[in-house]
Amino acid sequence: MRIVIALGGNALLRRGEPMTAENQRDNVRTAAQQIAEVAPGNELVIAHGNGPQVGLLALQGAAYKDVAPYPLDVLGAQTEGMIGYMIEQELGNLLPYEVPFATILTQVKVDANDPAFGNPTKPIGPVYTKEDAERFAKEKGWSIAPDGDKYRRVVASPRPRHIFEIRPIKWLIEHGTIVICAGGGGIPTMYDKDRKLVGVEAVIDKDLCSSLLAQELHADLLIIATDVDAAYVDWGKPTRRSIARAHPDELERLGFAAGSMGPKVQAAIEFARETGKDAVIGALPDIVAIIDGRAGTRVSVGEPGIHYHT
């Protein structure tokens, strides 16, 4: 079975944890232990988030005053290498030496006419006072937005349109390689007016990119691993219920918050609709149980209605 596993950035660096390399490696090790159990007999492709990691690099860069901040496409490439290295090493410590791994720096095409560029909503980097944020907006042309009692830079989050490295990714998995790719939604790129490929100051949603990746690879299953065990209705309320199985149309009608579960649910819906195969949203430590059908929220065109965990 060909499986795409999308590891959430907050699953790799949990909310509230200090952003240390040791904490990140511990979480990667948890993911690797689960993935190693399902590796035999399956073709695996691993995508991952990078929100906390890009934020950390942006904070570190802001402390160095003599050089302009590195652009987001470069920061995205840096995190793909950093996280891919950790995943490769931790999986390599668990699987036989003969199992090959490859981390692919993944450029993802976005459309210059995407309406997201006219409505930046994705917060990145450190928080600022209102005065500093307005100064940076004027000096650097940034868009800014409130974040609690502070302000942050916000950038566009355009839809992913094409994965440039899809051919080498396919070749590698067909030759038995476990591939780590499309980290952080991929490196946002587009063609300029001279048909030259250039990086873009944007952040592609990781889950939507993982869904596109799974579609283009003709995957049999998409797993979206996060820091909660399922998609819930009435989240945060005493009446909350976790969804066990759902048809894409029924799940879409429920509505989920754009800043949290919404993109994951949308990614799962799009994969199920486009391929007729299942997508599952669940917790990172439950990957084995997810594949066995014992955990998570399974989105399937063959599953009428909505069913809840008991």
Helix, strand, or coil (residue 197): strand
> Catalytic annotation on 122?
yes
CA nearest 183: which of 282, 271, 103, 90?
A: 103
DSSP three-state, residue 48: strand
Known catalytic residue at 109: no
Do residues 203 and 107 lie in contact, with contact meaning Cβ atoms separated by under 8 Å?
Answer: no
Do strands 162-163 and 43-48 pair parallel, antiparallel, or not at all (unpaired)?
Answer: unpaired
In the 3-class helix/strand/coil scheme, how is 80-101 assigned residue by residue?
HHHHHHHHHHHHHCCCCCCCCE
Annotated catalytic residue 264: yes
Among 184, 264, 277, 296, which one carries the catalytic annotation?
A: 264
Element (H, E) at 107: strand 107-109
Three-state secondary structure call for residue 303: coil
Residues 6+ apart with CB under 8 A from 230: 242, 243, 244, 281, 282, 283, 295, 296, 297, 309
Q: Does the active-site annotation cover 140?
A: no
Question: Can you state the percent helix, strand and coil of the chain, rounding each to 5?
Answer: 40, 25, 35
Which of 8, 10, 125, 186 is an active site residue? 10
Indicate which residue of 49, 84, 109, 206 is catalytic: 206
Burial of 250 (0-12, 13-18, 19+ CB in 10 A): middle
Task: Collapse the DSSP code of 125 into the 3-class scheme (helix H, G, I; strand E, B; otherwise coil) and give the result.
Answer: strand
Catalytic residue among 122, 125, 183, 282: 122
- Has 206 been annotated as catalytic? yes
- The token duo for 200 is 């873009």
What distance in Å separates the CA atoms of residue 91 and residue 36, rounded to the nearest whole number? 6
Hey, which residues are catalytic here? Answer: 9-10, 122, 206, 264
